[in-house]
A and B are shown apart, each in its own frame.
Chain A
Amino acid sequence: MTFSKEKRFDFLLCSLLLITVVVMLINIMTGKFSFTLVELYLALIGEPVYPFHEQILWKLRIPRVIVAALAGAMLGLAGSILQSVTRNPLAEPGIMGVTAGSVFFAVAWITFVPQISNLNFLLPLVASLGGILVTLCVLYISSKARQNHVQIALVGVLLSSIIQACTSFILLGNQKAIGSILLWIIGSLNGRAWIHLQALLPLATVTIILGLLSAGLANGLRLGDAQAKVLGIDVKKARFCLLLLASLLTAGAVSTIGAISFIGLIGPHLAKQLIGEDARRFFPISMLLSALLLVTSDAIAQNLIIYLPFDFFSSESQVPAGAITALLGAPFFIYLLKGTSRKEIRS
């Protein structure tokens, strides 16, 4: 506690980076097939013990773990931007309707467009577009009404549930594809490869840089509309840009790995407890924590089949990471909320 904020931030940044790299390595090494450290090293330098080591590593494990880290970071940044801008500690990336929109468009695409395998790369694009479209609707509707931060969240939640209902209708009519669609709704990293990373990387780079650069504005908005205006910020414009940015971040992540829950809520929440709400430090820490959480959840998901002797898991099916984030995330969040309410009573 005697550390200054800057020192604490540097310490957190370094240690989180280190932990994330370690967990990424564990994620790469374990799964249906586990590497030893020596095998991993030999495969990485191009002299694998068996040729399939290199295949698994470069074609499956490495792109997958990078996608997980990147998508986690995007969700964490989106969540922290939304929590600052809406001044709502429970705001999460889905609050603007992005998640529901992305899922709906993905499900509609899977159902109504004949599946040709070399068009697979279009799915994330379609899902992103859907997510952005719904966000724009939310922003448009709330701008017609008197725009304030509570109303935007409300419009987002309402529109989301309408769209989720539509998704359910499509699902009822298309029970054959329900398996692959379900993975979308839960969120999973299975089979994510370089092609997904290539699709995600440009959007991720641009939005993450813009997100981190927006910390100054986000700090102003966090102080409340009146105070932000008095400081010379064009509140409506700044809020619109930041909400759109958060939606782009979410759309990118959701369209690549599906509607992973809780990461974009817990990451920012933990970050706030560790470093406070100054966006200059809050945003990067939240990004790193969320990336770490998703990579960890995915590592658990990959190993769960092997160590749990459930008969009903066929050897082919893998637990989706989204199931882990929900399973571990929800109780953890309840624990966090209990902790904060106790602190509030005491002070």
Chain B
Amino acid sequence: MTDVKIEIEQLWVSLSGKIIIEDISSYIQEGKITVLLGVNGSGKSTLLKAISNLIPAKSGHVYLDGKAIFTMPTRNVAKKLAMLPQTHDSSLNLTVYELVEQGRFPHVGALKMLKKQDHQAIQHALELTNLTHFKERSMDELSGGERQRAWLALALAQSTDVLLLDEPTTFLDVYHQIVLLDLIKRLNHKEGKTIIMVLHDINHALKYADDVIIIKDRQVYQKGNPKKVLNERTLKEVYGIKASLFEDKVSKDWVCVPYGISDH
């Protein structure tokens, strides 16, 4: 059994008076890829944001390596946990290198950020994301896929154990989706990063996740190995769809083909 990296304890989150997360207790295993699934508005993105301390919890705790995140200084959290938010300003007039430099903020602080940052974590992040040759290019000249990789490189330059991603594939075409997810898989395998991400595509979850947490009606519906947890019944009850799941002969991956709306 692997160790628990993050523990969520009786977490309640409300946004403008409305309860979004209701008494969730769960855990994230170290060195694994955990995927959060659920319909729109189920609270999966909110859960991710609450874990990263982006939005305040109403009550409950999140422990990172046994320490309570909500009472930790934010810069200390940022040294251990990086997050790729869902949307970014696309008209940023910074070079890729200038952007990735910002990932060193939690380690050096505002004043030392005035100097050029040349920590090896930056080079490493650029290499991993295959952006070394793009580093002098301006962000507003990049394609959507390159831009998303640059933001990921910023998160990697934070050199954290944990990486959170909020729907990282949303605005990408199929090719760039696979490029990004393969990269995330590599980060998990080679760098040993614990990864938590929100995804919409069930096939992606089946292929890339070690563990899935399915959120339904503000609570955890089910948690476990995707091939076991994601079955016809779950998809019907969580998403309200009819789907068939089978092992693809070519790729040897489990795939899910939705073919209709379930009539209750």
Residues of A within 8 A of B102 (CB): 219-220, 223, 231
| Chain B positions 81-118 with a Cβ under 8 Å from a chain A Cβ | 82-83, 85, 87-89, 91-95, 97-99, 102-103, 105-106, 109-114, 116
Q: Which residues of A contact B95 (CB under 8 A)?
A: 5, 276, 278
Contact with B along A271-309 (1 / 0, CB 8 A): 010001110100000000000000000000000000000
* B93 vs chain A, min Cβ distance (A): 4
Query: A27-35, A69-77, A210-218, A320-328: which one contacts chain B?
Result: A210-218
Known: A216-B113, A219-B113. A231 touches B136 (CB 8 A): no
Instruction: Tell me whether A276 and B88 are in contact (CB under 8 A).
Output: no
Instruction: Tell me if A215 and B114 are in contact (CB < 8 A).
Output: yes
Contacts of A231 in B (CB 8 A): 78, 102-103, 105-106, 158
In the complex, the chain A residue whose C-beta lies closest to that of B105 is A231
A232 touches B105 (CB 8 A): yes
Contacts of A216 in B (CB 8 A): 105, 109-114
B47 to chain A, nearest CB (A): 15
Interface size on A, residues (CB 8 A): 29
**Bound complex: CA of A214 vs CA of B111, how far in Å?**
8
User: Quick one: CB contact mask for A1-16 with B, threshold 8 Å, 1 for yes?
Assistant: 0001110000000000
- Asked if B75 is at the interface (CB within 8 A of a chain A CB), the reply is yes
Minimum Cβ distance to chain A for residue B114 (Å): 5
**B114 contact from A213, A220, A272, Cβ within 8 A:** A213
Whether B114 pairs with A226 at a CB distance below 8 angstroms is no
Q: How large is the interface on B (under 10, 10 to 19, 20 to 34, 35 or more residues)?
A: 35 or more
Cβ B82 vs Cβ A227 within 8 A: no
Distance to closest chain B CB from A224 (angstroms): 6
In the complex, A5 Cα to B95 Cα: how many Å? 9
Contact (Cβ within 8 A) B110 A277 = no
Q: Give the residue name and chain of the A residue nearest to B104 (CB).
A: A231
B98 near A230 with CB under 8 A, answer no
- List A contacts of B93 (CB < 8 A): 272, 276-277
Contact of B92 with A277 in the complex, beta carbons under 8 Å: yes
Q: Which residues of B contact A175 (CB under 8 A)?
A: none
Instruction: Please name all residues of chain B whose beta carbon is closer than 8 Å to the beta carbon of A226 when the two chains form the complex.
Output: 54, 83, 85
Q: B210 within 8 Å of A by Cβ?
A: no
A1 to chain B, nearest CB (A): 9
Report how far A4 CA is from B102 CA in the complex, Å.
18
Say yes or no: is B140 at the interface (Cβ < 8 Å to chain A). Answer: yes
* Residue numbers in A under 8 Å from B89 (CB-CB): 87, 222-224
Which residues B200-237 have CB closer than 8 A to chain A? none
- Give the distance in Å from the alpha carbon of A215 to the alpha carbon of B114 in the complex: 7
- Inside 8 A of A4's CB, which chain B residues have their CB? 136
Cβ A5 vs Cβ B103 within 8 A: no
Tell me whether A317 is interfacial, beta carbon within 8 Å.
no
How far does the alpha carbon of A178 sit from the alpha carbon of B82 in the complex, in Å? 58
Q: Identify which of residues 225-239 in chain A touch chain B, using a CB-to-CB cut-off of 8 Å.
A: 226-227, 229-234
**Nearest-Cβ distance from residue A39 to partner chain B, whole angstroms:** 44
CB pair A232 B106 closer than 8 Å: yes
B94 A277 Cβ-Cβ under 8 A: yes
A230 to B82, CA, bound (A): 7
Could you say which of A219, A224, A278 contacts B88, with CB atoms under 8 Å apart?
A: A224
Query: Nearest Cβ in chain B — how far from A8, in angstroms?
Result: 10
Taking a contact as CB atoms under 8 Å apart, the answer to whether B85 and A5 are in contact is no
Contact B83 A230 (CB under 8 A): yes
**Does B262 make an interface contact (CB < 8 A)?**
no
Give every chain B residue within 8 A of A89 (Cβ-Cβ): 91
State the Cβ distance, A135 to closest chain B Cβ, in Å: 22
B183 at the interface (CB under 8 A from A): no
Tell me, yes or no, whether B77 is within 8 Å of chain A by CB: yes
Besides A5-B97, A233-B74, 5 other A-B contacts (C-beta < 8 A): A213-B114, A215-B114, A219-B113, A223-B89, A231-B105
